[in-house]
């Protein structure tokens, strides 16, 4: 397994809509393993393929509580098919926007259809943290970021900060 570089703001690839995965093969399984390694090392609870420079509809996650055994899952071409009525507010962070946390209100439960790592169609019901993580990562597949839930002023301040950091890193 290889730890991949996580792309950060302001890289424009983060705003791309990811293309569907065409086939589940050894290369895709290797990418999933590398993404899990990267996510755990970060540390994070979810990672979309676009965050490691692969704009495909693939995400990995592990919403196990601290101290619990790992429960990694890969969702290929995920599609939310139902959301619950009850909303939940959760303070979200993002590996592509380090040190930024945003309170976001999302549906507290959902059903998602996807293809598993063996190429089989699956559907799961999720609630709580798992539902939040799935929605956050699917947002990445649509080119949406947590800062899109902020006011334009706050979003612009964060984007300027990351652009300035990127220019400083390019000069160094």
Q: What is the pLDDT of residue 167?
A: 85
Q: What is the pLDDT of residue 1?
A: 81
Q: Which residues participate in catalysis according to the annotation?
A: 137
Q: What is the pLDDT of residue 168?
A: 81
**The model's pTM:** 0.94
Q: What is the pLDDT of residue 34?
A: 98
Q: What is the pLDDT of residue 172?
A: 61
Instruction: Report residue 46: phi and psi, to 5°.
Output: -160, 155
d(CA 123, CA 39): 23
Q: What is the pLDDT of residue 35?
A: 98
Tens-binned pLDDT, residue by residue, of the chain (172 aa): 889 999 999 999 999 999 999 999 999 999 999 999 999 999 999 999 999 999 999 999 998 888 889 999 999 999 999 999 999 999 999 999 999 999 999 999 999 999 999 999 999 999 999 999 999 999 999 999 999 999 999 999 999 999 998 888 776 6
Backbone φ/ψ region at 27: left (φ over 0), alpha (ψ -120 to 50), beta: alpha
Instruction: Report residue 99: phi and psi, to 5°.
Output: 65, 20
Q: What is the pLDDT of residue 3?
A: 93
d(CA 23, CA 30): 13
Q: Domains of the chain (ranges plus CATH)?
A: 12-171 (3.90.45.10)
């Amino acid at each position: 397994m290889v730890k991949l570089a996580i792309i950060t703001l302001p890289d424009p690839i983060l705003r791309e809509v990811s293309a569907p995965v065409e086939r589940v093969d050894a290369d895709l399984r290797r990418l999933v393993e590398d993404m899990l390694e990267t996510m755990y090392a970060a540390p994070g609870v979810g990672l979309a393929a676009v965050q490691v420079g692969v704009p495909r509809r693939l995400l990995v996650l592990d919403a196990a509580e601290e101290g619990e055994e790992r429960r990694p899952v890969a969702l290929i071409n995920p599609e939310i098919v139902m959301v619950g009525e009850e909303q939940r507010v959760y303070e979200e962070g993002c590996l592509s926007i380090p040190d930024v946390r945003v309170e976001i209100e999302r549906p507290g439960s959902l059903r998602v259809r996807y293809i598993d790592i063996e190429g089989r169609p699956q559907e799961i019901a999720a609630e709580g943290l798992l539902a939040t993580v799935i929605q956050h990562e699917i947002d990445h597949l649509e080119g949406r970021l947590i800062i899109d839930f902020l006011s334009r002023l706050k979003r612009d301040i964060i984007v300027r900060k990351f652009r300035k950091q990127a220019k400083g890193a390019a000069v160094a």
